[in-house]
Amino acid sequence: MNTRSDYHYRLEKETYERELISLAEYKQTNALLRDNDWLFVCPLFFQGFELKYIHSLCSKPGPHKNTITQIIFNKFFDLGWTASFIEGYCKRCDHIQPFLSSIEHSLILTFQRDYEGGVKTLIPIIEGILRKYLVLEKGMNPYHIQFKAVRNAFSALKQDILTQYKDGLSDYYDENKNPILFSPQQKDDLLRLRTLYYEQWFEFIIDFVDNSFYLKTDQSTIITNQINRHAILHEFGLPFEYNLENYIKVYFALQFLVWIFLNKEIKSLLNEINGYRLFEKAEAYKRIIRSAEKIAYQKHLLMKNYRGYNESLFKEKFNVKEIILPQEHRIKHKVLMKFKEALWRKGLEPQ
């Protein structure tokens, strides 16, 4: 009897079983999100307490759209959290990092209330990430990749992660770098539980991809306000609202991809942004939002006579959650930023 192997087997098994219990609850939460015109549970966006609160709405009658939307908007405008996602997750994910500049551009456009620009920038990024994966890791010709292959990339990614996990069970080490030898039955049990775990998570994104993002658009298909890349990028003239809500729905797909690839790269799912960088980015986002508020009326004048123009978008007030530093630190940062900006304008800012 191998006591150490049995211990680690029980530890892994109990962890997966707890995760599956949570996922059963998340599946109900996901159904509630869909009933209220949101699309799926996103593992990096939502924290456990947020999902539990949304899940608690399942037992309460009445429409919950506004409540859920406000929770999501508040999280999006927690600027420290948004900065953390870009710098603490995307930047250290090898599959995502090449697209960082474009991801940042989509956020800037959104903070400036240019939702159409934000959506139309983000959709090709998502496709680009998947296509690059198919080319570099599946050996596909970049000029011959059809939408079916891109649509099926999520299934391929799921299989990659499970194969990786299966191989890892034969090369498993404890925290002291001691090898752990699981029995064949233990390996089968752990792989079965891990497969159930990933199948449930991937079910959320694959449902979105098949029934919205890559839903086939022909004369028999009714497209309403779905996030359909074909209808959006090819300007079919179908009813689609370019607003904050629909941008965030696309943003969820990006977040899901980051979570998938961090798992695939066997990297930590904890935020690793530098504290000063977090504040610096959050402050920059806040200033962009404030600047956009000042020119909202000018944008209204430019757009007001166009079909589909929505005046209320330019009157939105974002509930920005700022990072509050002690007064002394805020003063030091303000002085430092003015000094660095002056150096930058003279081409002297150190990198």
Spatial separation of the C-alpha atoms in residues 288 and 248, rounded to whole Å: 18
Per DSSP, 170 falls in state: T
63 found inside a domain: yes
> DSSP string covering 297-339, please?
HHHHHHHTTSTT--GGGGG-----BPPPPPHHHHHHHHHHHHH
If residue 279 lies in a helix (H) or strand (E), which one and from where to where? helix 275-294
45 found inside a domain: yes
pTM for this entry = 0.87
What pLDDT, on the 0 to 100 scale, is given for residue 323? 73
Q: Is 68 strand, coil or helix?
A: helix
* Burial bucket for residue 6 (CB in 10 Å: 0-12, 13-18, 19+): middle
313 found inside a domain: no
Count of domains forming the chain: 1
What pLDDT, on the 0 to 100 scale, is given for residue 151? 86
- The two tokens of residue 184 are 């064949």
27 found inside a domain: yes
What pLDDT, on the 0 to 100 scale, is given for residue 215? 80
> DSSP string covering 232-245, please?
HHTT-------SHH
What pLDDT, on the 0 to 100 scale, is given for residue 329? 64
Q: Is 64 strand, coil or helix?
A: coil
215 found inside a domain: yes
Q: Tell me how far apart the 2 most distant CA atoms of the chain are, in Å.
A: 78
306 found inside a domain: no
Question: 219: domain range?
Answer: 3-278
124 found inside a domain: yes
- Which of 166, 192, 175 lies closest to 7, judged by CA? 175
122 found inside a domain: yes
Q: What is the pLDDT along the chain (351 residues), one digit of tens a residue?
A: 568 889 999 999 999 999 999 999 899 988 888 888 887 788 888 888 888 888 888 888 878 888 999 999 999 999 999 999 999 999 999 999 999 999 999 999 999 999 999 999 999 999 999 999 999 999 999 888 888 898 899 999 999 999 999 999 999 988 888 898 999 999 999 999 999 999 999 998 988 888 888 887 765 556 555 788 888 888 766 667 889 999 999 999 999 999 999 999 999 988 888 888 888 899 999 999 999 988 989 989 998 898 878 888 888 888 888 776 666 666 676 777 777 777 777 777 665
